[in-house]
Amino acid sequence: MMTGPAPSVSAWFGFSTALKLAIDSILAHKLRSFLTLLGVIVGVGSVVLVGAAIDGLGLYTEQSTAKAFGTDSYLIAQVAQVGNMSRKQLQEKLRYNRKIRVNDMNYLRSTTGDQIMYSPYDQRSGEVKTNGQSYDQATIIGVSANMPDIRDIGVVEGRFFSETEERAGQNLAVIGQDIVTNIFPEGAPLGKKFKVKGQEFTVVGVQEKLGSAFGNSLDTSVYVPYAAFTHIYGNQQNTAVFGRAKAGTGLDMEATTDISRVALRVHFKTQPGKPDNFDILTPDSIRGFLGSILSVIAAVVVPVTMISLVVGGIVIMNIMLVSVTERTREIGIRKAIGAKSSDVLLQFLLEAVVLSATGGVIGLALGYVATIFIGQVFEFTLKLTWPYVVLSLFVSTAVGVASGWYPARRAAKLDPIEALRAD
């Protein structure tokens, strides 16, 4: 007894035949096919480029946060928040929260200092001068000698001042690269002196170059002992405190901030059930805020860039309808010699999918090249990630299916006798 081919073999033969016919049709009209792809190419390239810019911006904000704030440190202050705060909210915090003073930091050191490092932190914008040179955009920062360990401050020349020098009240400074460039243009700043509001300081170290973060230079710093800072600007009635777990304690950020929080609530006699009457700012909260902004940007911008994919899909549909009209007689011949409606449907649907998928691959390649070019020429952080690659290819293929379905259905429903009569 004779039997036909296995269903799987028959299905594969039908698919491969339809795919070959679709590719032959595309190659027979190369220019028209390329023009049809332009919308998909532009759409996919735009999605890839925008995605790389958004993820690159996320990477940039993370790096900038680490430079400006440190990786595992946290800030305790009367008001320390990221994001927009209304005037009313600010006034409420200033009224409810306690000012942070040096004696509050000393309390933290005495109660939790075996696990956590602390340093006061206060800054002022001011002018630094040498003989014949001055720079009026310096950031004078008063800290303790352990600040490099807390904030990951890198010193490329010299050293940071020591606890002994800090207790002795010596006027020493670690300066940023912008300070070196502007007041020590001849270089070799170690051991040289400059003045801040008439007080003379000796350079003992140069901080590594940090570049900029969010449009502001990070190389304008002048780190001085906190005692020297108060000697210049007076005793501070409201300062901030940086903290970080000591090495070997095994404490993570959450556990460390909780220890400081509990100690301060006891110190400030905060009632149980009442909110903290001080603020704690961590790198995670900064990154979370910036991440939420980037998510909103992505939710708005990416769909907008996909409009060109929709336009590309409409173009593919129109061309496929024209193709069905042009090949009516071919469809009639195929049906007359035994092709089923499903075979014709599959042929034209595959043709649309191959068109859109090819456009997606070309768009992806162009987007990748544009990402590298823009990143190198404009020194902008771009990061191409798989989610946007998969999204662009998936959407471009889906566009092919959606735009090819109606023309393919129309071709499949043609009556073979009427189709053979077509010119």
Average pLDDT of the chain is: 83
Domain boundaries, the chain: 13-63+293-421, 98-277
- More reliable by pLDDT, 399 or 274: 274
pLDDT (tens digit, 9 = 90+) per residue, 293-309? 788 877 887 777 777 77
Higher model confidence: residue 27 or residue 160? 160
Instruction: Please state, in angstroms and rounded to a whole number, the distance separating the CA atoms of residues 122 and 141.
Output: 6
116 close to 244: Cβ distance less than 8 angstroms: yes
What integer is the mean pLDDT of 414-421?
68
Q: Write the pLDDT tens digit of every residue in 103-124.
A: 999 999 999 999 999 999 999 9
Contact 74, 282 (CB under 8 A): yes
Predicted local distance difference test score (pLDDT) of residue 2: 47
DSSP letters spanning 345-410: HHHHHHHHHHHHHHHHHHHHHHHHHHHHHHHHHS-------HHHHHHHHHHHHHHHHHHHHHHHHH
Query: Region 140-144: what's the mean pLDDT?
Result: 94
Asked if pLDDT for residue 27 goes beyond 90, the answer is no
Query: Is the pLDDT score of 5 beyond 60?
Result: no
Q: How many CA atoms lie within 13 A of 32 on its CB side?
A: 11
CA–CA gap between residue 227 and residue 240 (Å, rounded):
15
CA gap 37, 45 in Å, rounded: 12
pLDDT at position 325, please? Answer: 77
**More confident call, 75 vs 423:** 75
Tens of pLDDT, residue by residue over 221-242, are: 999 999 999 989 888 788 999 9
* pTM assigned to the model: 0.69
